[in-house]
Amino acid sequence: MSTYIRKRIIINMSIKVREQIKSLLASKNVTMKELCKLLSDKLGKEYSLPNFSGKLKRGTISYNEVLVIAEILGYEIKFVDIEDYS
């Protein structure tokens, strides 16, 4: 029987996507350079460190890219009704 430990990370929506992704990378000990290589392999297009870093700074990363990053790092994105926490 396999045992799975799920780590839940709650993301504060007021934090910029750049800081959120950097935090997730740090928690998995993955560098931005490594992430760029993994994204390139997964999506079949080149992700250079300067270009990807620029996307994060400008906040122009696509939702699809965020989904792939979550998958690469072993996370899933869930939408939770905020009324459940009121």
Residue 36 inside a domain? The answer is yes
24 occurs within a structural domain? yes
Sign of the alpha-carbon dihedral angle for 26, 82, 58, 61: positive
Asked whether residue 6 is assigned to any structural domain, the reply reads no
Q: Residue 51: what pLDDT? A: 95
- Predicted local distance difference test score (pLDDT) of residue 8: 53
Q: Give residue 80's pLDDT.
A: 80
**3 state SS of 69:** helix
Query: Does residue 1 fall inside a structural domain?
Result: no
pTM for this entry: 0.77
In-domain check, residue 61: yes
**Is 45 inside any structural domain?**
yes
Residue 23 in any domain: the answer is: yes
Residue 45 sits in a domain of what CATH number? Answer: 1.10.260
* Domain ranges, residue 65: 17-76
pLDDT mean by block of 10 residues, the chain; 86 residues: 46 70 94 97 96 91 94 90 72
The tally of domains found in the chain comes to 1
